Structure 1
Amino acid sequence: MSIMHAPLIIDVAGLSLTDTDRQRLAHPLVGGIILFGRNWQDRAQLTQLCREIKQVRADLLIAVDHEGGRVQRFRTDGFTHLPPMHALGDAWLRTDTGQPGANALAASNAAAAAGYVLGAELRACGVDFSFTPVLDLDHGGSTVIGDRAFARDARVTTALAQSLMHGLRMSGMGNCGKHFPGHGFVKADSHTDIPVDKRSLKTILAEDAAPYGWLSATLDAVMPAHVIYPKVDSRPAGFSSRWLNAILRQRLGFDGAIFSDDLSMAGARLIDGRTVSYTEAAQVALRAGCDLVLLCNQSVADGGEPIDELIEGLSKAQIQGVWQPSEASEQRRLSLLPATPAPDWDELMVSPRYMRALSLLP
């Protein structure tokens, strides 16, 4: 009996599924879909789109980048405008005027509230999962991270992320820490460049990667950075077995799902000094230790041919034995699906927990 493993997370171009979308999503190597702003018109449309996806296959993971602040795909028709995570960090670090630690406790409560509101609103529309929280530290020079980070201090970041993750769990949604081992120190944007962080492994583990060790028992998923750390490995972290297996899994004790970041980003296209195809990038990431790989924004290019090429390429790699599916990876994917029924939107809006959570947001 062949091992089942659906590692590909793809996207669709429009507000509803086409027949071609359905064929792609039905492929046994496709494990989920990532939504973008172009897939949003209003809540009714989003809910119907999610319903169409689940009608293709109930086990497909419907995911989105929905962090708060400037990275929030759905903002209208009732969705709460969530604060950037740096606002929570600022609240934590605000000078206490009364009882010591009061601001830190209030910020933790606000982070839990943000996680609950974020998860509950998405789930009420049929979305299963959001790629959050950002665990990158704010070193002050990264424009792509910036106020997406909680704080410069790894301890503050960890505490607030833990609270946010608690709120997500209350809503029935999992979590994904990103971008391991840290994207906040480098200035270059891995969407368009190949950032290089020349610090030592000792320094990175003591600072940027510290939250991953402290949160290893509660993180459901991790997304590595398309950043090269040459004193550790010549490959970006998401393509490095040393980073993903020797450090993240063995040294830091993480046992959840590992997602690659978007394979279409510039930081994923150059491996070992040469430009690679999406198929080769996916294979390298999976062999390095990723359980799932994302290919984003390719449904809008050339009729989605890059997606078809990746599906066909990975299929051939499996048949030829170049890539071997992983039952453990498939179980990690399935574990990210919500285990509780989604809330009804109208009932959610008047529920005491939701209304209290809204009142706690900064």
Structure 2
Amino acid sequence: MTESKSLILGCAGHSLSREEIRFYRGECPWGFILFARNISEPEQIRDLVASMRDCVGRDDAPVFIDQEGGRVQRLRPPLAPNYPPAAAVGEIYRRDREAGLRAAWLHGRMHAFDLARYGISADCLPVLDVPVEGASDVIGQRAYGRDPEAVAALGRASAEGLMAGGLLPVMKHIPGHGRASADTHFELPTVHASFDALRRHDFAPFTALNDLPAAMTAHVVFSAIDPAGPATTSGKVVEEVIRGEIGFDGLLISDDISMKALSGDFGAKAAAILAAGVDIVLHCNGVMEEMTAAAAKAKALEGAARRRADSAMAVIGAKNEGAEDELRAEFAEYFAAVA
């Protein structure tokens, strides 16, 4: 079997094309990611997930998705219920701390029930970004609130709910996207806050949850740390802040390199990300030309990156079953008042 490369890749449609099958077999990405364009009905999702794993010869190859609730939710009814955004969980927490923590755990647990039945093994959640006044609304309601301690508490509860259902949580966007004044899908923002302000506000939830198994980077420039480039490609941010100040030693995955925030060709982007110390390059849009360029510069998943990937994989499938009907009824009660 070909050794896995430091890649997570998407695909173009509801099933793999012959070109995609040949490409994935040759390049052997470590994992895959699904988007709404890849989803139609239950058996189609299961078949697509199975065919991705077949390409790389690993039945446990991780398959990721962004299933947050609110406006970022790839599975919709009837495949999965529509869920409230993180801000609704935060509203419960502000009224009753214990109720909010339980609601956050249930929020994660519901996603785990939904995703596991389709063979999806990782959810890019919790969002630990802490917005500030005047920031872009790209985070907005996706955040649990504007208090770093509350964000950390609710993020941990949500991650634990996912893990109770055998799903790998991926916290994002480390070391913090809350101050960004632009949407990184379209442009690269620069944050000018002092290092001390960043430590107290933006980094704090990630520091509190630095024991979680996986995290996704922010395509954000922090001028107080490295004015030359975004966190995703900055060795200074990765080594001194994410690994050092924050103390995160889990699997570090880039945000999507097909977003417009990162400049340059896709091979150069992939090379810069891995050179900075990020473990895995994420490419989402399924465009073959871009994936081919990124794969050409990707490297085998080995050393510390392999150790971190193996530790993250150990979370998957370790289920605390629970009674789904009872937990869904409890979840509905918490959010009835918010609605």
**TM-score after normalising by structure 2:** 0.90
Q: Do 1:279 and 1:310's aligned partners in 2 also have CA atoms closer than 8 Å?
A: yes
Q: Which residue of 1 aligns with 2:302?
A: 326
**Residue of structure 1 aligned with 2:152, choices 158, 164, 168:** 158
Q: Which residue of 2 aligns with 1:173?
A: 167
Q: Which residue of 1 aligns with 2:30?
A: 31
Q: Do 1:24 and 1:30's aligned partners in 2 also have CA atoms closer than 8 Å?
A: no
Q: Which residue of 2 aligns with 1:67?
A: 68
Q: Which residue of 2 aligns with 1:309?
A: 293
Q: Structure 1 CA distance, aligned partners of 2:301 and 2:42?
A: 36
Within 5 Å, give how 1:1-362 maps onto structure 2.
Answer: 4-56=3-55, 57=57, 58-94=59-95, 103-140=96-133, 141-217=135-211, 219-233=212-226, 234-269=228-263, 276-299=264-287, 304-314=288-298, 326-337=302-313, 339-340=316-317, 351-361=325-335
- Report the alpha carbon displacement of residue 240 of structure 1 after superposing the two structures with TM: 1.1
For 1:139, give the aligned amino acid.
V
Q: Structure 2 CA distance, aligned partners of 1:91 and 1:350?
A: 22
Q: List gaps (5 residues or longer) in structure 1.
A: 95-102, 270-275, 319-323
What's the CA shift string for 1:142-176, capped at 9, x where partnerless? 21111000000000000100110110111011211
Q: Structure 2 CA distance, aligned partners of 1:305 and 1:251?
A: 37
Q: Do 1:223 and 1:259's aligned partners in 2 also have CA atoms closer than 8 Å?
A: yes
- Report the alpha carbon displacement of residue 348 of structure 1 after superposing the two structures with TM: 8.6
Q: Which residue of 2 aligns with 1:273?
A: none
Q: Which residue of 2 aligns with 1:272?
A: none
Q: Do 1:188 and 1:195's aligned partners in 2 also have CA atoms closer than 8 Å?
A: yes
What's the CA shift string for 1:157-212, capped at 9, x where partnerless? 00100110110111011211111221111221111111010111111011011011
- Report the alpha carbon displacement of residue 265 of structure 1 after superposing the two structures with TM: 1.4
Q: Do 1:86 and 1:151's aligned partners in 2 also have CA atoms closer than 8 Å?
A: yes
Q: Which moved more, 1:138-147 or 1:165-174?
A: 138-147
- Report the alpha carbon displacement of residue 353 of structure 1 after superposing the two structures with TM: 4.0
Aligned pair count reads 330
Q: Structure 1 CA distance, aligned partners of 2:293 and 2:319?
A: 34
Identity %: 31
Q: Which moved more, 1:143-152 or 1:132-141?
A: 132-141
Q: Structure 1 CA distance, aligned partners of 2:23 and 2:334?
A: 42
For 2:6, give the aligned amino acid.
P
Q: Which has the larger radius of gyration?
A: 1
Q: Do 1:64 and 1:130's aligned partners in 2 also have CA atoms closer than 8 Å?
A: yes
For 1:171, give the aligned amino acid.
G
- Report the alpha carbon displacement of residue 28 of structure 1 after superposing the two structures with TM: 4.4
Q: Structure 2 CA distance, aligned partners of 1:55 and 1:341?
A: 22
Q: Do 1:5 and 1:330's aligned partners in 2 also have CA atoms closer than 8 Å?
A: no
Q: List gaps (5 residues or longer) in structure 2.
A: none
- Report the alpha carbon displacement of residue 12 of structure 1 after superposing the two structures with TM: 0.7
